Structure 1
């Protein structure tokens, strides 16, 4: 019997890790997770990996440096690499091509596109079954929910509902991280929170929240005045907290 392909996912945001895990649950793979570049190196040191799916901006650096190092290691050419990130520049895409990256996926990616990419990368295909349905909260307007289902979940309402439930469990921790970043005036930490929320909010259909998080990420990257960024965070915080309120 052929052993399952081993896939390493490097992603620091718990909601995005959950999304990927749900999308790939029916594929013949073993999914291994890492939350930082250091953890990814540890995983690679312990076991062979067939496919490496990675965000670019991690708490301990940019993963492009890791890809450079990997390509210089003997035997690494058999491992496929997929970049899974938001706002990938043309220059980064060109560098990725030079490094032999299999594909660059833009967050948020529709789950069917993610599944197809992984199937192609590991050289196999498997039928996809629906995730078990969960009870939907009333946190999202019906139009927003349907837009998210159609745009990012291939029309599969049960899969979206399960992802939404996992997001609602994670978002309070994201709020705490943003509050802490503002309290300590840590622009790098605030940028990472905004970067992660940008993708999550778009996946659940919040175009307003996605746009606000994107603006805050850019402001933090450019070193804008912290008073303005704190104000922007307050708006995002209010929106996220409204999503986390229990259904009436």
Structure 2
């Protein structure tokens, strides 16, 4: 029997990486698309059993993808749709209530949240989450950071320190690329790019237990949404300090 296909529509490479790591032990085939355009092309060629989509992405939004799938049922057939977003406020939830959504999942999600959602959607309830191997806590990189990381390991990684450390290493590979993109955007006050970076990074930083960085990213996103260019540029300069190892 073929493994069920799960389509993840997510533009942030680090969020996609986290989801891929978490779902690696499940008997599924995960396909990642970084835009609605890519997702539509994949859906036209491949039947899927579950679609997990972000809402805020470059180009067409995840909301647009959901509307397309609702209008053309042949796109996703009987696939369940999960909205996976950091922007699930009251207004968005009210809008989603009238759509064909199976479940919403707030970012950052834990290992248990993600695995449980996929198991429920694909009726894999008998599968067990992998047991977390014991490990020694890592040395703190700054005062207080070890405690925040320990809480993140417990909250988001099911006490699996090696999984957390593997993900953290991947983040430190990606962060210089984010810094380069943000620096270019700040130089020309491109608020759309700064908003997207802040939106994505606040989830990643909270997943890593970097709560202060998460708060800085949240304020940057708010400034960009308010079209306050000076505050957004200053916010980016503050945020990039939290992207160092």
TM-score (norm 1): 0.91
Q: Distance in 1 between matches of 2:49 and 2:37?
A: 19
Q: Does 1:233 align with 2:232?
A: no
Partner of 2:52: 53
Cα displacement string for residues 43-95 of structure 1 (whole angstroms, at most 9, x for unaligned residues)? 11121111111110001132112101111113435111111110212222122
Match of 2:31 in 1: 32
- Is 2:166 the counterpart of 1:162? yes
Deviations 1:153-189 (A, max 9, x none): 1111121111111111111111111111111221101
Q: Distance in 2 between matches of 1:54 and 1:156?
A: 26
Distance in 2 of aligned mates of 1:168 and 1:131 = 23
Q: Is the 8 A contact 2:172 2:243 kept in 1?
A: no
Unaligned residue ranges in structure 2 (runs of 5+): none
Mapped to 2, the partners of 1:137 and 1:122 lie a distance apart of 39
Relative to structure 1, the CA distance from residue 31 to residue 211 in structure 2 (aligned partners, 3 Å threshold; closer, same or farther) is same
Partner of residue 13, structure 1: 12
Q: Give matches, 1:45-194, under 5 Å.
A: 45-75=44-74, 76-125=76-125, 126-129=127-130, 139=141, 141-194=145-198
Q: How many residues align?
A: 240
Structure 2 CA distance for partners of 1:8 and 1:134, relative to 1, 3 Å: farther
Q: Which residue of 2 aligns with 1:246?
A: none
Q: Tell me the TM-score normalized by structure 2.
A: 0.92
Per-residue Cα deviation, 1:2-25 (whole angstroms, up to 9, x for no partner): 211100111111110010001100
Structure 1: give runs of 5+ residues left out of the alignment: 244-248
Offset at residue 142 of structure 1 (A) = 1.8
Give the conservation status (yes or no) of the 8 Å contact 1:202–1:210. Answer: yes
The Cα of 1:137 is off from its aligned counterpart by 7.8
Residue 236 (structure 1) shift: 0.7
Deviates more, 1:100-109 or 1:226-235: 226-235
Whether the aligned pair in 2 keeps the contact of 1:212 and 1:232 (CA below 8 Å) is yes
Task: Check the 8 A contact 2:132/2:158 in 1, yes or no.
Answer: no
Bigger Cα displacement from structure 2, 165-174 vs 68-77: 68-77
